[in-house]
Amino acid sequence: MSPPSVSAGPHTPPQDSSLTSVALIARQAIVNSQHVVIGYELFNRSRSGQAHTAASDVALVFPGRPHPGTDGLGGKNLIFVNCPHESRPGGHLELVAPEKVVPETPPLGHAASEEVAARLPILQALRERGFHLAFNHTVLQSTYASWLPLADYIKFDLSALAPDQLAVLVSYANRRSEAELIAEKVETAQQYDLASTQGIQIFQGYWFARPALVQAKLVAPAQASILELINLVRRQAATSEIEEVLKKDAGLAFNLMRLINSAGLGLTREVTSFRQAVMLLGLKKLFRWAALLLTASRSSGTPSSVGHTAVVRGRLMELLALETVSQDEADEAFVVGIFSMLDVMLSMPLDAALDLLIVPETVSAALLRREGFLGDLLTLAEACESSDDEAFHHAASTLHLSSQQINGAHLQALAWADHVTDL
């Protein structure tokens, strides 16, 4: 189902379709013997063919904030994500909370023991970081003997196993491992009864819930901005320098705030400023995130008209706020400006777009209802774009700002935003 269209209004720049993409994510509930949901398995339905990369995997983990009409991709439950061996070196698992995300490791096919041994250190490193690992029932084969002690979950595919096979494998798993056992592809009451009688207490399949599709909107930042961010991180630049790059690219800023407040990252506090996000994420994770983001960025380094307008608004509002309030409050003004065009960037109503982020109530009130000091600043910024003299003078009077102050700040904001094209 396509997202609702948004009326851009007479003074809103047209949407740049190259700025956004949609990740189709299916999630299927995993339940216990009392039919209580304990987790969800996520499937990427956006991939073409069999292409599977770190970038495609990370699309599953990053959009962890609630989407309109859902309680989020994982809510407070575990997130099971299939992570093929080819994508493990991408480093995307460095960005998520080990207690939240369960990587599912597939078998190697007709694997030689040397291949199994070669993969073992990667799996051990994940366990040492605190990840709980899931495997399918092939991990019980003798070839994978070195992997079996690492298994926290073992999945049994009821569509592929006969009842006598299931009984033998479950018995072996209980004797040789401490893993919790999951019956998957449970489609009938008979299959459920079969698994239950074998002592399996966790279930997944159509008999409980079919996968539900969720559209995750992604914003593509300019490659030049990502490259500059990577270079700053590599030379361990000051947080203030990194913050400046984020302020110059609306897509980059949106994706970072989306990541830092995602369910997969597992933070217990709300992060509402770029400075907080950079400090909490840390340079190592920030570098990995930027490197992965680069693989999915748009090819042109030229800022879109929408992104450019959002940057000008944010900078203008920040400069005007600094006339009367502290830097912390001015930071919120910048956030309001740069996120004021999320509806156009994401082709959805602004309130739905804000559901993808955690923002302070003052920011939300300003964006949705033009309330408070920040709302007045946003009204003034919009009036500057529209050449609406009446709205301009009314907002200026409310904020006790002179035309000279506003015009000077507007020229500074335009010049500052134009500098992005030279990055």
- Residues 284-296 have pLDDT tens digits of 778 767 765 655 4
Residue 193: the pLDDT is: 94
Most confident among 8-17, 57-66, 124-133 (mean pLDDT) = 124-133
Region 2-12 average pLDDT: 33
Region 115-133 average pLDDT: 89
Region 2-6 average pLDDT: 33
Check whether 421 has a pLDDT greater than 90.
Answer: no
Is there a contact between 40 and 331 (Cβ–Cβ < 8 Å)? no
Bigger pLDDT: 157 vs 350 = 157
Residue 17: the pLDDT is: 41
Average model confidence (pLDDT) across the chain: 77
Residue 262: the pLDDT is: 65
Most confident among 108-122, 327-341, 378-392 (mean pLDDT) = 378-392
Bigger pLDDT: 126 vs 92 = 126
Residue 149: the pLDDT is: 96
Residue 11: the pLDDT is: 36
Is there a contact between 37 and 31 (Cβ–Cβ < 8 Å)? yes
3-state secondary structure of 152: strand
Check whether 29 has a pLDDT greater than 80.
Answer: yes
Is there a contact between 296 and 220 (Cβ–Cβ < 8 Å)? yes
Residues 395 and 358: their CA atoms lie apart, in Å, by: 27
3-state secondary structure of 222: strand
Most confident among 5-19, 92-106, 169-183 (mean pLDDT) = 169-183
| Closest listed residue to residue 139, CA positions, set 180, 183, 113, 107 | 107
The DSSP symbol for 311 reads H
Check whether 164 has a pLDDT greater than 90.
Answer: yes
3-state secondary structure of 27: strand
Region 250-260 average pLDDT: 78
Region 244-261 average pLDDT: 79
- Residues 350-408 have pLDDT tens digits of 888 787 666 788 999 999 999 999 999 999 999 988 877 888 899 999 999 998 999 89
Neighbours of 314 (CB within 10 A): 28
Question: What domains sit in the chain, N to C, each tagged with a CATH number?
Answer: 23-215 (3.20.20.450), 220-295 (no CATH), 305-422 (no CATH)
Region 155-182 average pLDDT: 95
Check whether 256 has a pLDDT greater than 50.
Answer: yes
What is the pLDDT confidence band of residue 14, given thresholds at 50, 70 and 90? Answer: very low
Lowest-confidence pick of 195-204, 256-265, 274-283: 256-265
Bigger pLDDT: 253 vs 75 = 253
3-state secondary structure of 98: coil
Residue 54: the pLDDT is: 46
Residues contacting 366, CB < 8 A, separation 6+: 336, 372, 374, 375, 377, 378
Check whether 2 has a pLDDT greater than 80.
Answer: no
Q: Is 0.85 surpassed by the pTM of this model?
A: no
Lowest-confidence pick of 58-72, 142-156, 285-299, 303-317: 58-72
Region 335-352 average pLDDT: 80
Q: Any bridge partners for residue 78, and if so which?
A: 39
Region 60-75 average pLDDT: 46
Is there a contact between 40 and 73 (Cβ–Cβ < 8 Å)? yes
End-to-end CA distance of the chain: 38
Bigger pLDDT: 78 vs 301 = 78
Check whether 18 has a pLDDT greater than 50.
Answer: no
Residue 423: the pLDDT is: 38
Residue 23: the pLDDT is: 59
